[in-house]
Amino acid sequence: MIKSYPPSSRLANGLAVLRGLSFFALLSVAIFFFGLWLIPAAILLKRASFLKWMCRVYLGIAHPMFGIRFEVQGRENLSGRNTVLVSNHQSWIDITTMMLHVRYPSFLAKKEIESWPYFGGAMKVLNCVFVDRNDRRSRGDVALQVKQKLAAGADFCIFPEGTRSIDGKLQEFAGGAFRIAIDAEALITPIVIDETWWILNKKGFKLFPGTVRVRILPPIDTALPENRNYKELAPRVRALMEDTLTGMRREPGASGFAS
């Protein structure tokens, strides 16, 4: 167990750098290998299952190989109805955590990614919705797409902080994600993730072994009148998630780095 962050030991830091570089090297090899045949096949045949299988195979190997473990509570709060998963964001690992250990969601992505070779096409197959941040008038179209894809069986994940937290503290929430969810009359399921900020911090490539801790909170129905005001809903959900995060850090087994 690492007793402080960042760890002071040169050996621990050196091993973390080696582990991180190896993790991303393995990811690059996997993308190159699968990109030669599976990604084009998935795009041509419009089979999201091909891409999901690829990610699950890679992550199912990579996570345990590099000492990344998971402890998830609250799966009973995932109803049969498709949902917008609203999560805090500490690390790139948050995305892989959602894919393997919560639900495999679609994501809102920047409009620019839509034109990227391979990745843009793959994200379309995975039902991702592309958002033009410079065009506020497109919000209604984005909400309509989200509503249609939810009805067709997709879940969505939104990180309302907008960027990863460098120190594990919960940042302010942007209201846009909640406006989209409300316009789509979607079910919102808050997700709280902790420990990933030090396991793979946004600054650099150091990767430390550790346990990702996840709490899935009860869903909130935005179709109900009391949940229709995004200016009230966003801070309410943030307060709920912050209370949950504070409680998680008092539990046995928590690192306590961000206490």
- HSE toward the beta carbon, residue 173, CA cutoff 13 A: 25
CA dist 114 → 111, 140, 213 (Å): 6, 19, 32
Q: Which of 45-59, 92-106, 127-141, 150-164 has the lowest mean pLDDT?
A: 127-141
Specify if 144 maps to a domain.
Answer: yes
Which structure tokens are listed for 206?
């150091």
Percent helix, strand, coil in the chain, to 5, is: 50, 15, 35
What are the tens digits of pLDDT across the range 39-58? 889 999 999 999 999 889 88
At residue 120's C-alpha, the angle toward residues 58 and 123, to 5°, is: 55
Give the residue, 242 or 139, on which the prediction is more confident: 242
pTM of the model: 0.90
Helix 38-45 to helix 10-35 angle (10° resolution) is 50
Domain-embedded: residue 185: yes
> Does 102 fall in a domain?
yes
Find which of 22-26, 165-169, 235-239 is predicted with most confidence, using mean pLDDT. Answer: 235-239
Radius of gyration over alpha carbons of the chain, in Å?
A: 19
Mean pLDDT confidence for 147-161: 90
Q: Grade residue 2 by pLDDT with cuts at 50, 70 and 90.
A: very low
In this prediction, residue 33 has a pLDDT band, given cuts at 50, 70 and 90, of confident
pLDDT score recorded for residue 259:
52
pLDDT band at 1 (very low <50, low <70, confident <90, very high): very low
> Would 222 be classed as within a structural domain?
yes
How many folded domains does the chain comprise?
A: 1
User: How far, in Å, are 58, 76, 150, 215, 251 from residue 80 at the CA level?
Assistant: 27, 10, 12, 18, 30
Residue 10 pLDDT level (bands cut at 50, 70, 90):
confident
Q: Is 259 part of any domain?
A: no
CA separation for the pair 192, 177 (Å, rounded): 16
Question: Is residue 20 one of the residues assigned to a domain?
Answer: no
Lowest mean pLDDT among 42-46, 51-55, 129-133, 236-240: 129-133
Give me the domain span that covers residue 142: 68-248
Note whether residue 129 is domain-resident. Answer: yes
In a domain, 31, yes or no: no
Residue 38's pLDDT is 86
Cβ contacts of 73 within 8 Å, gap of 6 or more: 214, 215, 216
What's the chain's average pLDDT?
89
The stretch 69-94 carries a mean pLDDT of 93
Is 52 strand, coil or helix?
Answer: helix
Tens-place pLDDT, residues 173-217? 988 889 888 988 889 999 999 999 999 999 888 999 999 999 999
